[in-house]
Amino acid sequence: MTDAVSTVHVRRGAAAAAQGESRLRVIARTAFPFLVVGAMWEITAHAGIFPARLFPTLEEIAAAFWRLTVAGILPRHIAETVLRLLAGFALAAVVGVIIGIAMGRSRRAEDVLLPLVSIGAPIPGIAYAPLFMLWFGLGNFSAVLLVGFVSTFPVIFNTWTGVKAVKEIWVRSALVMGADQRRLFWHVILPGALPYILTGARLGLAQAWRILVVVELLAAVPWGLGWLIFGAREFLNTDVMLAGVAVIGMIGLALEKLVFERLEHYTVVRWGMMQS
Amino acid sequence: MTSPRTQSIVRGALAIVVVAACYEATARSGLFPRALLPTLPKVAETLVALIADGTMLRHAATTLYRMMCGFMLAVAIGLPLGIMMGRFRPLEKFVMPLASALMPIPSLAWVPVFILWFGLGNTVSILIVFYAALFPMILNSWSGVRAVNQLWLRAAGAMGADEHAMFWKVILPGASPFIITGLRQAFLRAWIAVVGAEMLASSDWGLGWVIYDAKEFLNADVMLASLVVIGAIGFVFERLVFGSLERVTVLRWGMVREAKS
Res B102 pLDDT > 60: yes
If asked whether residues A163 and A203 sit together in one domain, one would say: yes
CA distance B197 to B107: 9
**A256 contacts chain B (CB < 8 A):** yes
Is the CB of A232 less than 8 angstroms away from the CB of B199? no
Domain boundary among A54, A78, A99: A54
Q: What chain B residue is nearest to A2 in terms of C-alpha separation? A: B181
Domain boundary among A10, A35, A54: A54
Res B160 pLDDT > 90: no
If asked whether residues A145 and A161 sit together in one domain, one would say: yes
Res B128 pLDDT > 80: yes
Quick one: which of A45, A66, A232 has its CA closest to B111?
A: A232
Specify the pLDDT at position A8: 43
- Which CATH number applies to B36-251? 1.10.3720.10
If you average pLDDT over residues A188-212, what whole number do you get? 85
- Residue A221 near residue A139 (C-beta atoms within 8 A): yes
Residue A239 lies in a domain: yes
Angle at A163 between CA A255 and CA A199, to 5 degrees: 15
Indicate the range of A127-136, A215-224, B204-213, B252-261 predicted with least confidence: B252-261
If asked whether residues A33 and A73 sit together in one domain, one would say: no
If asked whether residues A172 and A235 sit together in one domain, one would say: yes
- Give the list of residues 6+ apart from residue B6 with CB closer than 8 angstroms, or none: none
If you average pLDDT over residues B168-172, what whole number do you get? 85
**A215 contacts chain B (CB < 8 A):** no
If asked whether residues A61 and A47 sit together in one domain, one would say: no
CA distance A54 to A9: 40
Mean pLDDT of all residues in chain B? Answer: 85
Interface test with chain A among B105, B211, B251, B257, by most A beta carbons within 10 Å: B105
Domain boundary among A54, A70, A99: A54
If you average pLDDT over residues B30-50, what whole number do you get? 83
Number of folded domains in chain A?
2
Res B70 pLDDT > 90: yes
If asked whether residues A35 and A109 sit together in one domain, one would say: no
Q: Which residues of A touch B113 (CB under 8 A)?
A: 229, 233, 238, 241-242, 245
If asked whether residues A31 and A155 sit together in one domain, one would say: no
> What CATH number is given to the structural domain containing A99?
1.10.3720.10
If you average pLDDT over residues A198-225, what whole number do you get? 83
Q: Which residues of B touch A56 (CB under 8 A)?
A: none
**A261 contacts chain B (CB < 8 A):** no
Closest approach of chain B CAs to the CA of A72, in angstroms? 22
If asked whether residues A50 and A105 sit together in one domain, one would say: no
If asked whether residues A183 and A46 sit together in one domain, one would say: no
Residue A15 lies in a domain: no
If you average pLDDT over residues A146-171, what whole number do you get? 88
| Residues 38-67 (A) with a CB less than 8 A from some CB of B | 50, 54-55
Interface test with chain A among B93, B195, B210, B216, by most A beta carbons within 10 Å: B195
Is the CB of A211 less than 8 angstroms away from the CB of B13? no
CA distance A41 to A62: 14
If you average pLDDT over residues A132-154, what whole number do you get? 87
Res B258 pLDDT > 70: no
Residue A10 lies in a domain: no
- For residue A30, give its domain range: 22-54
Res B3 pLDDT > 80: no
Res A276 pLDDT > 60: no
Residue A34 lies in a domain: yes
ipTM above threshold 0.85: no
If asked whether residues A28 and A88 sit together in one domain, one would say: no
Is the CB of B8 less than 8 angstroms away from the CB of A111? yes
If asked whether residues A29 and A153 sit together in one domain, one would say: no
- Give the list of residues 6+ apart from residue B163 with CB closer than 8 angstroms, or none: none
